[in-house]
Amino acid sequence: MANQKSSVGIRGMEIKTLPKHDQSHISYREINEDILRFMTQTGPGYYIVLGALFLLTILLYALPWAYQIYTGQGVTGLNVPVFWGVYLVNFVFWVGVAHAGTLISAMLYITETPWRRAIARGAETMTLFALVIVTFFVFIHMGRPWNFYWSFPYPNTRQLWTSFQSPLMFDVFAIGTYFTSSVIFLYFGMIPDLASLRQSSTGWRKSLYRVMSLGWRGTDRQWHMHGKACMFFSSFIMPLVVSVHSIVSWDFALSVVPGYSKTVFAPYFVTGALLSGFAGVLLMLTVIRWFFPIMKKYVTAYHFDRIGIIILVLSLTWSYCTLMEVVTGLYANTSQELEHLKFKLLTPPYSYLFVLMIFSNTLVPLSLMIRKIRSCEIGMFFICIFVLIGMWLERYLIVPNSLSRKFLPWMWHDYFPSWVEVSITVGAVCFFIFMFMAFIKIFPVVSLFEVKEDAGIPMKKGH
Partner 1 sequence: MAGIFDKVKDTLNSYRTPGYFKKLDHKWTMVVDLDMCNGCGACVAGCYAENNLPVVGKEDCGKSRAFSWLRIERYVDGEYPDVKVKFIPVMCQHCMKAPCEIGCPVYATYHNQDGLNVQVYNRCVGTFTCATYCTYDVRRFNWFSYKWPKPLDQQLNPDVTVREMGVMEKCTFCIQRITAAKDKAKDEGRGVKDGEVLPACCQSCPTNALVFGDLQDPESRVAKMVNNPRKYRLLEELNTDPSVIYLKRVMNDGKSEE
Residues that bind partner 1 (CB under 8 A): 71-74, 77-81, 83-84, 141-145, 147-148, 150-151, 158, 160-163, 165-169, 172, 251, 254-257, 403, 406-411, 413
In angstroms, give the least distance from the CB of 80 to partner 1.
Answer: 5
Closest to 227 in 3D by CA, of 453, 57, 460, 411:
453
Q: Are 26 and 32 in contact (CB under 8 A)?
A: no
In angstroms, give the least distance from the CB of 116 to partner 1.
Answer: 36
- Give the Å distances, CA to CA, from 57 to 3, 53, 218: 45, 6, 40
Q: Nearer Cβ to partner 1, position 87 or 449?
A: 87
Q: Nearer Cβ to partner 1, position 218 or 409?
A: 409
Q: Are 93 and 393 in contact (CB under 8 A)?
A: no
Q: Nearer Cβ to partner 1, position 74 or 218?
A: 74
Q: Are 435 and 129 in contact (CB under 8 A)?
A: yes
In angstroms, give the least distance from the CB of 126 to partner 1.
Answer: 27
d(CA 360, CA 381): 13
Secondary structure of 193-217 in the HEC alphabet?
Answer: HHHHHHHHCCHHHHHHHHHHCCCCC
In angstroms, give the least distance from the CB of 69 to partner 1.
Answer: 9
Residue 13's DSSP bridge partners are 10
In angstroms, give the least distance from the CB of 404 to partner 1.
Answer: 10
d(CA 259, CA 257): 6
- Three-state secondary-structure class, residue 7: strand
Q: Nearer Cβ to partner 1, position 156 or 235?
A: 156
Q: Nearer Cβ to partner 1, position 22 or 414?
A: 414
Q: Nearer Cβ to partner 1, position 262 or 406?
A: 406
In angstroms, give the least distance from the CB of 167 to partner 1.
Answer: 7
Phi-psi region of 83 (alpha: psi -120 to 50; beta: other; left: phi over 0): alpha
- Give the Å distances, CA to CA, from 36 to 76, 444, 458: 45, 8, 20
Q: Nearer Cβ to partner 1, position 84 or 209?
A: 84
In angstroms, give the least distance from the CB of 452 to partner 1.
Answer: 46
